[in-house]
Amino acid sequence: MNSISSASEQSSIVEATTSIRADSNIGKLLQDAGKLKPQDMERVLALQQEQNLRFGEAAQKLGLVTEADIQQALSHQFEYPYIPAAEASLSPELTAATAPYSKEAEALRSVRSELLLRWFNDGRKTLAIGSARADEGASYLAANLAVLFAQMGRKVLLVDANMRQPRQQEIFNLGNGMGLSDILAERVPSVQVHTVKPFQTLTILPAGSPPPNPVELLARPSFGALLAGLEISYDIILIDTAPSQLSSDFQLIAARVGGMLIATRRNVSRLAPLTELKEKIVLTGAQVVGAVVLD
């Protein structure tokens, strides 16, 4: 008669089976990425059994792969996309995409968590992000938050509504082309968005052609209609706005979406302009969702 194993024995069997499957998957991912050859697999497996190591540890100990290679394989295994800095064609500002294990990325994840609890938990989908001055990091914050939400599997749209000094096409290396201004001016028949690889759930709507009348474009009913239509297709929409020192564009956007997150920078931001920005946001009837201090 076969005996029934104890709960602890069953747990050990499940753990061992899971570990073997995980190691196998990582080995295949490293092979598919061209980091390991078939003959390398045998060496790794032999060392793994001999020294009771994880597959990645054994491969790294043999000098066949790097820590970055292992992290990249794990990111694929757990469906957590990011781009190694050495391979990235994106701006180094995009910390969440190129250095997801850094302290900066972890701090930004805390901001993401706060937004999920305080803003996006009541059916809201759209949030504006702005600042008092151009050097306070609103575009940086918007871009990284867009990546972080996409890493959760959310369908994200990042809109660059800073038509005076647009940054998102530079951060995501999109080049110059049609975008928001062209849609609002009815120069294009449909919305022109860009998907960012490997973040298949992240798309960017750039600012578009530099217009002479950003305020007038944003004041058009078509802007509100555009956002309403986009909210049907996306889980989260983040809107990068022009700083308040440049224009009143941000007020029109804040009034449309109902809330704004303020970016500030340590040793750069000043209290008086921030206070004025907050008052102007409140005057639109929108909510100041919070302020993020960037280093």
Query: Cα–Cα distances in Å, from 38 out to 24, 42, 52, 62, 140?
Result: 13, 7, 21, 15, 42
Condensed to tens digits (0 to 9), the pLDDT of residues 89-135 reads 778 899 998 888 899 999 999 999 999 999 999 889 999 999 999 99
Residue 248: is its pLDDT beyond 50? yes
What mean pLDDT comes out for the span 262-282? 96
pLDDT classification of 59: cutoffs 50, 70, 90: confident
CA angle 119, 168, 252 (to 5 degrees): 55
Condensed to tens digits (0 to 9), the pLDDT of residues 11-26 reads 443 343 344 344 447 7
Rounded Cα distance, 3 and 60, in Å: 40
Asked if the structure places residue 60 within a domain, the reply is: yes
Same domain assignment for residues 33 and 132: no
Q: What is the pTM of this model?
A: 0.77
pLDDT at 101: 84
Same domain assignment for residues 59 and 110: no
Same domain assignment for residues 15 and 130: no
Same domain assignment for residues 154 and 33: no
What mean pLDDT comes out for the span 241-265? 96
Same domain assignment for residues 200 and 261: yes
DSSP 10-60: HHHHHHHHHHHHHHHHHHHHHHHTTS--HHHHHHHHHHHHHHT--HHHHHH
* Among candidate residues 47, 77, 107, the one where a domain is terminated: 77
Beta strands in the chain (DSSP E): 126-130, 156-160, 194-196, 199-205, 236-240, 259-265, 287-294
pLDDT at 74: 64
Residue 68: is its pLDDT beyond 50? yes
For residue 8, give every residue at least 6 positions away whose Cβ sits within 8 Å of its Cβ, in sequence order, or none. none
Asked if the structure places residue 203 within a domain, the reply is: yes
Mean pLDDT of the chain: 86
* Cα dihedral value 189, 191, 192, 194, nearest 10: -160
What mean pLDDT comes out for the span 21-45? 73
Asked if the structure places residue 150 within a domain, the reply is: yes
Same domain assignment for residues 188 and 246: yes
What mean pLDDT comes out for the span 140-156? 96
pLDDT at 109: 96
Same domain assignment for residues 99 and 218: yes
Same domain assignment for residues 226 and 267: yes
Condensed to tens digits (0 to 9), the pLDDT of residues 230-241 reads 999 999 999 999
Residue 42: give the domain boundaries. 7-77
**Number of structural domains, the chain?**
2
Asked if the structure places residue 242 within a domain, the reply is: yes
> What CATH number is attached to the domain comprising 110?
3.40.50.300
Residue 211 has phi, psi (to 5 degrees) of -95, 155
Same domain assignment for residues 136 and 237: yes
* Among candidate residues 15, 45, 77, the one where a domain is terminated: 77
pLDDT classification of 220: cutoffs 50, 70, 90: very high
User: Strands 194-196, 199-205: parallel, antiparallel or unpaired by DSSP?
Assistant: antiparallel
Instruction: Write down the number of H helices and E strands in the chain.
Output: 13, 7
Asked if the structure places residue 47 within a domain, the reply is: yes
Q: 287 forms bridges with which residues in the sheet?
A: 259
Rounded Cα distance, 151 and 81, in Å: 6
